[in-house]
Structure 1
Amino acid sequence: MDIGIGLPGHAPWTDGRHLVEWARRAEARGFATVAVSDRLRWTTPEPLMTLAAAAGATDRVRLLTSVLLAPLRTNHVLFAKTVATLDHLAGPDRLRLGLAAGFREDDFTASGVDHADRGRAFAALLETLAEAAHDPGGLRPATPGGPPLLFGGTSRAALRRIATRGTGWLAGTATVDDLRAFTPGLRAAWTGAGRPGAPRVVVSAMYALGPHAASATARAIAPYYAFAGDEWVREGIAGTLTSPSRLAAAVTAFERAGCDELILTGNDPDPAQVDLLADALGR
């Protein structure tokens, strides 16, 4: 199982250069991927711009949007060119796009985008991405056919996207039980679509380490998930991996459950968290 790093864009970061330093350290310590999340109505940095900065600061580590709110990108041709540009800046076979329809209505309201129509908009964007990857008159991606697509969500529409257009499922912050509940249907949909092999399963989990792990987790998660209510906040804080022993147990459990890559997302913006994580995992 691969292990990646999720940048702490949801946490109270104040210096974007620290996020770039996270990417540098992630590559230096042998992590497979640098991932960045997406929220419009929050201080989360824009994912593609952030990954462009990370691409310029690194050479080998893979780059992942986890997940990008696809229907908010309403100029589909411009989005396709932005993706192709980032793919060239990173170099072939480094960028992967994790995409989802999005469920926060406030992000759509702020954009003037119809939340109820997001499925249709998502489908149209995917068509444009596919066409742009082979357009002789435009900027085609450096990666042949374009960057691989992973899709978030557990709906029938998400299953259909994965089985027909994707390379796998991006589970977001999920538990081992979530994984075991969803993957049988995922594999059945994949086989039913005539796809060879198996879909890639990528899961995210929150972490913070060191003497201030608990307070950093509370500062990051409580306001970020406040919209969902106190129970969600409590579960998010309780589920955060805050010790080497909990990290080791989680890595083992996810690997046994069939996870192909585990993205460990920081809750403390200090780049030293990358080294603490690498040390805890014996890297």
Structure 2
Amino acid sequence: MDIGIGLPNTVLEVDRAGIVEWSRRAEAAGFSSLGTIDRLVYPNFEPLITLAAAAAVTERIRLLTDILIAPLHSNTALLAKQVATIDCLSEGRVVLGVAVGSRPDDYTASGVELSRRGRIFDEQLQTMTSVWAGERGIGPAPFRGSRPQLLIGGTQPRSFARVAQHADGWTSGGGGPQAFAAAMPAVRQAWSDAGRDGNPRNVALAYFGLGDTAATDIAHTLGSYYAFAGPYRQTAIDGAADGPAAVQAVIDGYRAAGADELVLFPASADPAQVDRLAEIAFGR
């Protein structure tokens, strides 16, 4: 199982060091991917611009949106061009994880109808594929001559059908190893029903905090980010891995569940979190 690390682009105190220095350390430590999380009505760093900054100071590590809320980007051709540009600049390291999201305020601010997000998303997947294939005269072409690796998030049967029709795999979001393992048979069944060979790539997400202030960082960061979510706010806080033993348990749990990659997202923007996580993940 690959182990990636999230950039702290949704941590309220994030600054340049939390992106640039963090990216350099993550690549040097051997993490497989740098991930970003998306929101609009929140003081986070925008995911694609964040990954462009990371691309400029790294050479090998994958650049993953986990996820980008695609329907908020109403100009789909421009979105495809932006993604292809980062893919070229990074020499093919982009992994585009996309989903529909559910926050009404994000959609209101975007001028996009929340009730139409599924239909918009289906159209976007077709449009982006067409742009990346060079069928619309919109460049640049993706670095490897075909679309970037594409993952689709969501937990409903329609999401799994989209994975099978359009993507290379599924990204699960939070929920823990048991929920991940419970969903994988349905993802694989949709893949098989669509006539796809092999198995879809699957990526899992978890939150972590390390160091003396880990519990405070988790409560502050996840409490703020999930303030809209009612009782789930505390569920997210309680589900984060607080300390080395909890982080190791999450890694072991997702490995046993069959994840291809686990991306651990931080509750602090201190680049020292990268080194602390590497000690647990890689024994150094």
- Taking structure 1 as the reference length, the TM-score comes to 0.96
| Structure 1 stretches lacking a partner, 5+ long | none
Report how far residue 171 of structure 1 moved. Answer: 0.7
Shift of 1:177: 1.6
What is the one-letter code of the residue matched to 1:145? S
1:236 paired to 2:236: yes
Contact 2:17 2:271 in 1 (8 A): no
Gapped runs of 5+ residues in structure 2? none
Alignment of 1:100-249 (within 5 A): 100-135=99-134, 137-139=137-139, 140-229=141-230, 231-249=231-249
- State the distance in 2 between where 1:75 and 1:35 align: 23
Contact 1:76–1:128 (Cα < 8 Å) also in 2: yes
How many equivalent residue pairs?
A: 281
Aligned 8 A contact 2:172 2:204 in 1:
yes
Q: Distance in 1 between matches of 2:98 and 2:14?
A: 26
Q: Take 2:9 and 2:56, find their aligned partners in 1: how far apart are those partners? A: 18
Q: 1:23-58: per-residue Cα shift (whole Å, max 9, x none)? A: 111000000000001000011211111100000010
Amino acid aligned to 2:143? A
> Contact between 1:9 and 1:43, CA under 8 Å: does it hold in 2?
no
Report the alpha carbon displacement of residue 18 of structure 1 after superposing the two structures with TM: 2.1
Compute the displacement of 1:148 (Å): 1.2
SS in 2 for 1:132: helix
Partner secondary structure for residue 172 of structure 1: coil
Instruction: Please report how far the alpha carbon of residue 236 of structure 1 lies from its aligned counterpart in structure 2 after TM superposition.
Output: 1.4
Of 136-145 and 23-32, deviating more is 136-145
Q: CA RMSD in A?
A: 1.2
Q: Is the 8 A contact 2:19 2:53 kept in 1?
A: no
Indicate if the aligned counterparts of 1:34 and 1:62 stay in contact, CA closer than 8 A.
yes
Give me the identity figure in percent.
Answer: 45
Once the two structures are superposed, residues 49-82 of structure 1 have per-residue CA deviations (whole angstroms, 9 ceiling, x without a partner) of: 1100000010000000010000011111111111
Give the letter aligned to residue 87 of structure 2. Answer: D
Instruction: Give the CA deviation at 1:201.
Output: 1.1
Contact map agreement 1:4 1:34 (CA 8 A) in 2:
yes
| 2:12 and 2:44 in contact (8 A); partners too | no
d(CA) in 1 for partners of 2:129, 2:197: 20
| 1:217–1:237 Cα contact (<8 Å) kept | yes
1:15 to 2:15 alignment: yes
User: What corresponds to 1:96 in structure 2?
Assistant: 95
Runs of 4+ in 1 over 4 A off after TM superposition: none
